Amino acid sequence: GESVGLHLPTLSVQEGDNSIINCAYSNSASDYFIWYKQESGKGPQFIIDIRSNMDKRQGQRVTVLLNKTVKHLSLQIAATQPGDSAVYFCAEEKTSYDKVIFGPGTSLSVIP
């Protein structure tokens, strides 16, 4: 399940299940979005991006969905593996404003 603790929200999933990580973005004018994965002690790693003229984009085992009506972004990970355990966060950008906003992230824990 998903819970909000003192720090990051945590999502625990069973190995092999699908994971859905959500992000509510703040600026309705944002036109570019990225999902990152950050493992403990490492820098953020680019996973997938999507522009506002799309509502879905697929990569290898990952899908990003964009719902501009409710300013919501989600990352779906298929057949979650122990190596997927990490913090996942989204970033939004309105290119003409030259400003990027990063979310604080969700901690994904995969149960073997």
Partner 1 sequence: NAGVTQTPKFQVLKTGQSMTLQCAQDMNHNSMYWYRQDPGMGLRLIYYSASEGTTDKGEVPNGYNVSRLNKREFSLRLESAAPSQTSVYFCASRYRGPLVPQHFGDGTRLSIL
Binding site for partner 1 (CB under 8 A): 6-8, 32, 34, 41-46, 89, 91, 93, 95, 98-105
Q: How far is the CB of 97 from partner 1 (least distance, A)?
A: 9
Phi-psi sector, 79: left (phi>0), alpha (psi -120 to 50), beta: left
Residue with tokens 């779906």: 76
Tokens representing residue 51 in the block: 């522009």
- CA 39 to CA 62: how far, in whole Å? 17
24/79 with CB nearer partner 1: 24
Q: How far is the CB of 37 from partner 1 (least distance, A)?
A: 11
4/112 with CB nearer partner 1: 4
